[in-house]
Amino acid sequence: MESFINEVDFFKGNNPEEIAREYGTPLYVYNEDIIRDRMMRVAGVITAYPYRANYSCKTNTNLEILKIALSVGVNADAMSEGEMRMLQKAGFPSDRIFYVCNNVSADEMRYAIENNIPVSLDSLDQLRLFGEINRGGRCAVRINPGVGAGHHEKVVTAGKKTKFGIAEEDIDSIFDIAKEYDLKIIGINQHVGSLFMDPAPFLAAVDNLLRIAKKFENLEFIDFGGGYGIPYHKLDDEKEFDMSSFSKEFTKKLDEFVKEYGSAPMFKSEPGRYCVAEGGVILGRVHSIKQNSGVKYIGTDVGMNVLVRPSMYDSWHDIEIISDGKVVARDKDSMEKVTVCGNICESGDVLCKDRELPGVKDNDLVCVLDAGAYGYSMCSSYNTRLRPAEVMICSDGSVKLIRRRETFEDMFRLYE
Ligand SMILES: Cc1ncc(COP(=O)(O)O)c(C=O)c1O
């Protein structure tokens, strides 16, 4: 693909240079249509049985994005009190939130219980704590199915080497604790890891959880977790995750289970990245270009405080160059190997190394693709830099500021 920005008309006819001037850089820019479309796709993965997609809002908790999720009928997962509160602020009722916590305090758990938000417990200790706070209550348990998968060691969330979930061999202890505190286990959930382009590991995990589910009686729901991938190498023509064949394979597995289990509980999944990654980009400004020991460094204002994924996971993000408001063509002749970095005082503050990009000039814009997921939500104020603003290119083509840039006054307020 020559240019994703042009191919999907990401800015809907608006000039990215004008947007960057008006709102400043670095700037998160979202496209409402793309986010709506992806959320609708995940909502329709299973149609033969009661099914809900829970948007995993850790990925992006901007209120406007949560409101899109609410309006297309997906539910949401929360991992913290902050995420529960954001979802409530966006208008999610309690029964459309699922609190999937780990290692939380009694106070945080109490917040969920007092707000009637369904809770999943991630360890026997936390199940006991739930029982102490809420004797006779209803809850789910997060199972560690023993195998994990994902694009990087740090996003594998099941298997022998992670902190998550209750091991299959401890299921009898779940029943013992449930009996002691008169708890009803109404659901089980898992999340094996993140970013599958090949559905095989997810489907294997589905088989495994369905096998484990048969050890529980009268489950009201089974939640298979998230992980659907997106093509981060789209400029190299990487294909999309094939949602329609995945959906057929997934349904077949549920058919077999329902026959044996005798009833169909509500089936759920927890996609995050798939819903929002492609609907977000970062616009950053080139402030300096230099050669150091034969390497050409493109110095921008998109530091690791703005997008941490490349430094944290060695993640790849495609980058397009925008000059005078237009995407620079990737002609063979103009391509050169460069390293794009940010303005943070860390040698790991690198967006991409030795990447072929078309000729970049001072003051051009870099447009970092697929930044809608784990972008702003993982921002920091490292080096005492301000968190960026976020704008939405709305379906009607208008540009709306959906979170203002942080100010120094915001920072100083914590000391008052
Ligand atoms: C429990 C849980 N559910 C869902 C997700 C969403 O995963 P993804 O964004 O890969 O779909 C995560 C991400 O790590 C998670 O930890």
Report CA torsion sign: 406, 307, 271, 313: negative
Query: Which residue's CA is the closest to the ligand 1 atom numbered 2?
Result: 191
Question: Which of 39, 45, 54, 56, when mutated, tests ligand 1's pocket best, judged by the most ligand atoms within 8 Å of its CB?
Answer: 56
Atom of ligand 1 nearest to the CA of 271: 11
In this prediction, residue 69 carries a pLDDT of 98
Atom of ligand 1 nearest to the CA of 150: 10
Burial grade of 79 (CB within 10 A; 0-12, 13-18, 19 or more): middle
77 in ligand 1 pocket by Cβ < 6 Å?
A: yes
Strands 326-327 and 319-323: antiparallel
In this prediction, residue 159 carries a pLDDT of 66
Question: Which of 194, 209, 246, when mutated, tests ligand 1's pocket best, judged by the most ligand atoms within 8 Å of its CB?
Answer: 194
Active site (catalytic) residues: 345
> How far away, in angstroms, is 209 Cα from ligand 1 center?
16
Give pTM, 2 decimals. Answer: 0.95
> How far away, in angstroms, is 198 Cα from ligand 1 center?
16
Greatest alpha-carbon pair distance for the chain in Å reads: 72
Question: Could you tell me if 376 and 387 are in contact, meaning their C-beta atoms sit under 8 angstroms apart?
Answer: yes
> How far away, in angstroms, is 273 Cα from ligand 1 center?
8
In this prediction, residue 157 carries a pLDDT of 62
Write b or e for each residue in 363-386: b if 16 or more Cβ atoms lie within 10 A of its Cβ, otherwise e.
Answer: ebbbbbbbbbbbbbbbbeeeeebb
Structure tokens at 81: 């009190």
223 in ligand 1 pocket by Cβ < 6 Å?
A: no
Strand partners, 135: none
Structure tokens at 211: 């096998």
> How far away, in angstroms, is 150 Cα from ligand 1 center?
11
Atom of ligand 1 nearest to the CA of 229: 10
> How far away, in angstroms, is 157 Cα from ligand 1 center?
9
In this prediction, residue 152 carries a pLDDT of 66
> How far away, in angstroms, is 86 Cα from ligand 1 center?
17
Domains of the chain: 4-28+277-413 (2.40.37.10), 32-274 (3.20.20.10)
Q: What is the pLDDT along the chain (416 residues), one digit of tens a residue?
A: 999 999 999 999 999 999 999 999 999 999 999 999 999 999 999 999 999 999 999 999 999 999 999 999 999 999 999 999 999 999 999 999 999 999 999 999 999 999 999 999 999 999 999 999 999 999 999 998 876 666 666 666 666 667 889 999 999 999 999 999 999 999 999 998 887 899 888 898 899 999 999 999 999 999 999 999 999 999 999 999 999 999 999 999 999 999 999 999 999 999 999 999 999 999 999 999 999 999 999 999 999 999 999 999 999 999 999 999 999 999 988 899 999 999 999 999 999 999 999 999 999 999 999 999 999 999 999 999 999 999 999 999 999 999 999 999 999 999 99
In this prediction, residue 324 carries a pLDDT of 97
φ/ψ of residue 286, rounded to 5: -85, 120
227 in ligand 1 pocket by Cβ < 6 Å?
A: yes
273 in ligand 1 pocket by Cβ < 6 Å?
A: yes
In this prediction, residue 162 carries a pLDDT of 76
Atom of ligand 1 nearest to the CA of 228: 11
Nearest to 141 by CA among 104, 114, 178, 182: 178
Structure confidence by residue, pLDDT tens digits, 355-390:
999 999 999 999 999 999 999 999 999 999 999 999
In this prediction, residue 142 carries a pLDDT of 96
25 in ligand 1 pocket by Cβ < 6 Å?
A: no
In this prediction, residue 326 carries a pLDDT of 97
270 in ligand 1 pocket by Cβ < 6 Å?
A: yes
Tokens 């023993």 correspond to: 146
Establish whether the linkage from the previous residue to 26 is cis, with ω within 30° of 0.
yes
> How far away, in angstroms, is 61 Cα from ligand 1 center?
13
194 in ligand 1 pocket by Cβ < 6 Å?
A: yes
In this prediction, residue 195 carries a pLDDT of 78
**What is the spatial distance between Cα 42 and Cα 228, in angstroms, rounded to a whole number?**
9
Question: Which of 191, 202, 224, when mutated, tests ligand 1's pocket best, judged by the most ligand atoms within 8 Å of its CB?
Answer: 191
Residue 88: Cβ within 10 Å count: 16
> How far away, in angstroms, is 245 Cα from ligand 1 center?
21
**What is the spatial distance between Cα 250 and Cα 14, in angstroms, rounded to a whole number?**
40
Query: Which residue's CA is the closest to the ligand 1 atom numbered 12?
Result: 226
Query: Which residue's CA is the closest to the ligand 1 atom numbered 1?
Result: 191
**What is the spatial distance between Cα 157 and Cα 190, in angstroms, rounded to a whole number?**
9
> How far away, in angstroms, is 225 Cα from ligand 1 center?
7
In this prediction, residue 196 carries a pLDDT of 86
Query: Which residue's CA is the closest to the ligand 1 atom numbered 13?
Result: 194
In this prediction, residue 201 carries a pLDDT of 85
Atom of ligand 1 nearest to the CA of 270: 4
- Give the chain as a 3 state SS string: CCCHHHHCCCCCCCCHHHHHHHHCCCEEEEEHHHHHHHHHHHHCCCCCCCEEEEEEHHHCCCHHHHHHHHHHCCEEEECCHHHHHHHHHHCCCHHHEEEECCCCCHHHHHHHHHCCCCEEECCHHHHHHHHHHCCCCEEEEEEECCCCCCCCHHHECCCCCCCCCEEHHHHHHHHHHHHHCCCEEEEEECCCECCECCCHHHHHHHHHHHHHHCCCCCCCEEECCCCECCCCCHHHCCCCCCHHHHHHHHHHHHHHHHHHHCCCCEEEECCCHHHHHHHEEEEEEEEEEEEECCEEEEEECCCCCCCCHHHHHCCCCCEEEEECCEECCCCHHHEEEEEEECCCCCCCCEEEEEEEEECCCCCCEEEECCCCCCCHHHCCCHHHCCCCEEEEECCCCCEEEEECCCCHHHHHHCCC
100 in ligand 1 pocket by Cβ < 6 Å?
A: yes
